[in-house]
Amino acid sequence: MKKEILFFIVLTALVAFKPINKIDKLINSEIKKTFVIDNFTIESIKVKEDLNKELPIKITDSNFKKINIDSKNLGYYYQGKAFGKVDYFDFLVIFNSNLVIKKVKILVYREDRGGEIGSKRWLKQFIGKSVDNSLKYGNDIAGISGATISAKSITFQMEKLLQSISILHRKKII
Amino acid sequence: MKKITIAVSVILISLTGYSQTKTNNLQQNSGQRILGNVTTSGVTIGGYAQVDYNEPDGSTSGDLDVHRLVMLLGYKFNDKVSFLTEIEYEHVKEVFVEQAYISYKVNSNFNVLAGLMLVPMGIINEYHEPTTYYGVERPNVDKYIVPTTWREIGVGINGNIYNASIKYQFYVFNGFSSYKDGVGLLRGVDGLRKGRQKGAESNVSSPNFSTKIDYYGIQGLRLGLSGYFGRSQTDDTTIEDSTVGITMIGLDARYRYQNFEFRSQYIYTKLSDTEQYNTLIGSDLGSEMNGFYGEVAYSFNLKGVEKITPFLRYEKYNTQAKTAGSLVKNLANDKNELVFGLNYKVANGAAFKADYQLVNNAISGSETSKQFNAGIAIWF
């Protein structure tokens, strides 16, 4: 048994001491990949407090931003959270300027179980959805066995996000 | 054994290397910054429960039982380190620790775990909360062939390769006990089940390796391949015949399309040196065991989250599919079973269940044994 345990300790140490970059870098690179661009600027969106109360998801100046290139609007991104069985996970949604989803990515997943929702193929189901779509788990979005709670949870958050964005769009804020 | 270790190490290192290059960028800091009210540490409380009524056909009386009541208590120290325990009350009066392990998150899809953990084999051993399966009781393949709830002390890694839609797990576990205080523990009727040490003052004489690869890249489908390799444990290493070699392979599939669900599982176990072992302790342990089941279910949506789901499952399992030496197979161990019933889900995590079970064995002229089961299932 000794050798095996030692093997794990060495392996862990090797992996653990690699430098890790910031999550913002990941968001930047996802935006670049999604729109196939090298440079862009980020602009905050101001939502008044009383309107925010109407929204299923509260928009702050740090969770929802406009993506511009040479002062032309390319799209938007949302950085959100959803709750799994015992912990939160973070995800990123990128929209184009017509408010159609171009990309969904799990940024941080913390639990041991349910991490399957990070699968690119599974998340692809959200691509192409827009404010006109409803997202019902099991019908519009197929589930994943073994990750049901997290899959339901992100689907629910995504639906609330689309509803919020729809309201912002109607009020001509975006 | 050495060869297996080396092969697995190579696979492991290449796996982790691969997952690394793709996900080095993931980190938690900015997540915490933005998600103001996210708890970065603290206690988690949860649990599950199964209260059953079993009534065999005929003149025998029924049985009411708080079969399992499990309290989950977890503590998250920070975004990387957490500790999870499950304390189980079985039949009200027996107390066990079902899980107790520390998890160290190296990066977003690579975790190192150590402590008392579940062995990943088939579906139910890992996903054993009663609201995750249909039927009042767990499938019998997951009782006699995979001895759920199967857990031992060990160390391992798990994680996901998101680009390939793969979950990987690899562990070194302590194994089944086959010999303790001069008594043999493994037998023909339930295979390895009595050998589970459950992390309680367990004997260790040789390491066992466990791995599972899950693929979930096809929408609605999840496929699993599990492997378990090693030897049983003994408290007297001078008695060579007191242990047996164990190889267990599992294949499982879960498919869901809208309201239709299908799941299936096949487990094959090869036990070596059983002839000497049986001679030593006077037992009848088989040299091969296998089990299969297939289940279909269809959910009818009622108001809100409520659902009523009829299901049908066919199981076939044999704890003495082969025997070594002169040992004659007991055909009573070769069973098949039909279970059908209803699952009434009243909330996410709460259901009423009822089913009827028909069990046959391979002895010619033997009667079908029938049983009615009803119960409640809770997971929170």
> Contacts of residue B29 in chain A, CB cutoff 8 Å?
22-23
> Contacts of residue B252 in chain A, CB cutoff 8 Å?
none
- Closest partner residue to A23 (CB to CB) among B26, B46, B220 is B26
List all residues of chain B from 196 to 255 with a beta carbon under 8 Å from chain A.
204, 207, 214, 216-220, 222, 254-255
Section B67-92 average pLDDT? 93
- Omega before residue B149 within 30° of 0, cis: yes
- State the number of CA atoms in the 13 A half-sphere of B169 facing the CB: 29
The conformation of residue B207, written as its DSSP 8-state character, comes to -
CA distance B267 to B224: 11
The conformation of residue B214, written as its DSSP 8-state character, comes to E
How many residues can be counted in chain A?
174
Cα distance between the two ends of chain B: 41
pLDDT of residue B17: 41
The two structure tokens encoding residue A135: 């997202």
Task: Find which of A9-18, A106-115, B285-294 is predicted with most confidence, using mean pLDDT.
Answer: B285-294
Three-class DSSP category at A42: strand
The two structure tokens encoding residue B332: 């009573």
Q: Among all chains, which residue has been given the structure tokens 């869901």?
A: B256
- B350-361 and B334-347: which strand pairing? antiparallel
Tell whether the model's pLDDT for residue B6 goes beyond 70. Answer: no
Three-class DSSP category at A52: helix
> Contacts of residue A106 in chain B, CB cutoff 8 Å?
108, 162
Q: Across-strand partners of A101?
A: A95
- B177-180 and B233-234: which strand pairing? parallel
CA distance B93 to B270: 34
Whether the CB-CB separation of B37 and B3 falls below 8 Å is answered with no
What angle, rounded to 10 degrees, do the helices at A2-16 and B2-23 form? 10
User: Which H/E stretch holds residue A3?
Assistant: helix A2-16
Whether the CB-CB separation of A150 and A85 falls below 8 Å is answered with yes
> Contacts of residue A6 in chain B, CB cutoff 8 Å?
none
Whether the CB-CB separation of B324 and B275 falls below 8 Å is answered with yes
> Contacts of residue A144 in chain B, CB cutoff 8 Å?
216, 222
If one counts every other C-beta atom within 10 angstroms of the C-beta of residue B220, the result is 19
pLDDT of residue A139: 87
Three-class DSSP category at B375: strand
Report the gap between the CA of A40 and the closest CA in chain B (Å).
20
Are the beta carbons of A18 and B217 separated by less than 8 Å?
Answer: no
- Closest partner residue to A112 (CB to CB) among B12, B158, B218 is B158
**Region class of A49: left (phi > 0), else alpha (psi between -120 and 50), else beta:** alpha
Tell whether the model's pLDDT for residue A28 goes beyond 50. Answer: yes
Tell whether the model's pLDDT for residue A8 goes beyond 70. Answer: no
CA distance B156 to B113: 5
Q: What is the mean pLDDT of chain A?
A: 89
List all residues of chain B from 60 to 119 with a beta carbon under 8 Å from chain A.
74, 76, 79, 84, 103-114
pTM of the model: 0.83
The two structure tokens encoding residue A49: 């407090």
- State the number of CA atoms in the 13 A half-sphere of B30 facing the CB: 19
List all residues of chain B from 152 to 181 with a beta carbon under 8 Å from chain A.
155-160, 162-163, 165, 167, 172, 174
| CATH code at position B131 | 2.40.160.10
Q: Among all chains, which residue has been given the structure tokens 């009386």?
A: B61
Burial of B373 by CB count in 10 Å (0-12 exposed, 13-18 middle, 19+ buried)?
buried
Q: With bands split at pLDDT 50, 70 and 90, how would you rate the model's confidence at B22?
A: very low
- Closest partner residue to A24 (CB to CB) among B28, B30, B165 is B30
User: Which domain, by its residues, includes B176?
Assistant: 2-379
pLDDT in tens, B338-379: 999 999 999 999 999 999 999 999 999 999 999 999 999 999
- B183-184 and B369-379: which strand pairing? unpaired
Give residue B371's identity as a one-letter amino acid code.
Answer: Q
Share of chain B above pLDDT 90, in %: 83
CA distance B200 to B307: 40
**Which of B1, B15, B35 should one mutate to test binding to chain A, selecting the residue with the greatest count of A CBs within 10 A?**
B35
User: Which H/E stretch holds residue B321?
Assistant: strand B307-322
Are the beta carbons of A115 and B159 separated by less than 8 Å?
Answer: yes
DSSP string, B17-53: HHHHHHHTT--SHHHHHHSTT--SSEEEEEEEEEEEE
Whether the CB-CB separation of A23 and B26 falls below 8 Å is answered with yes
pLDDT of residue B240: 92
The two structure tokens encoding residue B242: 């007191």
DSSP string, B275-320: HHHHHHHT----SEEEEEEEEEEEPEE-STT-EEEEEEEEEEEEEE
Chain A's closest residue to B30, CA to CA, is A23
Number of A–B residue contacts, CB under 8 Å: 155
Q: What is the ipTM of this complex?
A: 0.74
- Closest partner residue to A112 (CB to CB) among B103, B106, B220 is B103
Section B72-99 average pLDDT? 93
Count the domains in chain B. Answer: 1
pLDDT of residue B312: 98
User: What residues have CB less than 8 Å from A45, skipping those under 6 apart?
Assistant: A59, A61, A64, A65, A66, A76, A168, A173, A174
- Closest partner residue to A138 (CB to CB) among B108, B165, B258 is B258
Q: What is the mean pLDDT of chain B?
A: 89
List all residues of chain B from 309 to 368 with a beta carbon under 8 Å from chain A.
348
